[in-house]
Chain A
Amino acid sequence: MVERCLGCAACAAVCPKDALTISGGKPEFGPECDDCGICAKVCPTGAIEDEGE
């Protein structure tokens, strides 16, 4: 996932649980994450899809 993530934070903006922050230009998932997948849906490059695989 690292290669495709450009750190734009669209994922963090839609996270309903506030579980995602951008750290070091990459998403960091907190314990509140319940795998709802909204973040992956809006990711422009598909970087979070890779993470789940």
Chain B
Amino acid sequence: MEFDVVVVGAGPAGSVAAWAAAEAGCDVLVLERKAEVGVPKQCAEGISAHGLEHAGIEPQDEWIATEISRALIYAPNGKEFEVPGDGYVLERRVFDKWLVVRAVEAGAEVKLLARARRALVDDGRVVGVEYEGVDGVHEVRARVTIAADGIESRIGRTAGLVPPLKPTEICTCAQYEMIGVDVEEDATHFFVDAEFFPGGYFWIFPKGEGRANVGVGIRGSESEPGDALKVLNRALEDHELISEAVAEAVPVEVNVGGVPVCGPVGRTYGDGILVVGDAARQVNPVTGGGLHTSLVCGRIAGEVAAEAIEEDDTSATFLKQYQDQWKEEFGRMFKYTLKASKILSEMSNEELNALAEALDREDILRLVKGEGVVKVAKKVIARKPSLLKYAKHLMK
């Protein structure tokens, strides 16, 4: 089999890449390991309105569970911050399928239960992938391979672009979708507590009528086997604010997963290959959110792959445009959110409470978006000199 583009993984990054490449006239094959696109979900399903717009995707009723107008962030001492911002909690199983259907309608082919095992490398250049399907092992040759194969990224790894994650670079996560959750449903809720949720946070993302994603991520380096699920259960019982919100709630789904929080890999392109989405670690290290970045980077990857084929130049030199373009969109955000994430993960509850006193909601927004971070650092130093050692890191 030979294609212009083979996309490995039909998550949001892969499907958008396939969609863009197929729309530009390429012959595209998408390989998906699972039996069903979008299932199981490994995501709290939130995205900002800006994120969707940035990705050029018109919101559709069929995959929007609920609309959000603000985030509520709770410091360890319970102090609450309201950060305004429009967004959505999605129904990922519907959203992911909707995206792959766009790719198919644009002309892409999809193969399910097809597990890509390794990149085919010929004289240093990726020329396709080997995959295991229901009927045995096959090779697919392609002029451009797009590795959108998630946190594990066999393809990115075997192409030599994706190193293993260190335990400090991953958050291990567990989540229930619950019914009967009692929270304000026009807000996403973030609970910060260094003792309860080391190196991460707890979230409640409402999906309407009492349904919500209720989950936690903790830093891999702070985790012992099974801790994500244990911490989730413990918080539902013992955390003052959370236990109150879920007192009557019942889980109807369990989701688990790892989230890369180290910022993007150094090189997301090579001869004949692009790496995108979780595989490329294009995830905001403060929020762990990767939908917005994956959708935008996926589109850029698909477009650059199509141009490369049009120009008959799929060398690393040409494909570097992909990295230049996504850095243009997110480079600064990744740089500052990575710093902020490292600092937040090192703070004690006392320090987090002090930080909460020093900041207002605009400052929090700056930290989350990685904009105007130096300004925030100066303010922290002026108001809470005890936090100087952390604030200094932000200013570098």
Which A residues form the contact surface with B (CB < 8 A)?
4, 6, 8-10, 12-16, 18, 21-23, 38, 40-49
Contacts and interface: CB of A to CB of B under 8 A. Distances in A.
Nearest to A18: B157
Contacts of B42: 8
Interface size of B as a range: 20 to 34
Interface of B: 33, 40, 42, 115, 117, 150-154, 157, 164-167, 170, 172-174, 220, 223-230, 254-258, 260
Contact of B256 (A14, A18, A44): A44
14 contacts: A6-B254, A8-B257, A9-B152, A10-B170, A13-B152, A13-B164, A14-B258, A15-B164, A22-B152, A42-B167, A42-B170, A44-B226, A44-B229, A45-B228
Contacts of A43: 172, 225-226
B258 A8 contact: yes
A1 to B, nearest CB: 11
A12 B152 contact: yes
Nearest to B174: A44
B137 to A, nearest CB: 12
Contacts, number: 88
Nearest to A22: B152
Given A41-B220, A42-B172, A44-B256, A21 B228 contact: no
Given A8-B42, A15-B164, A49 B258 contact: no
A52 to B, nearest CB: 9
Nearest to A4: B226
A32 to B, nearest CB: 12
B170 A13 contact: yes
Contacts of B117: 21
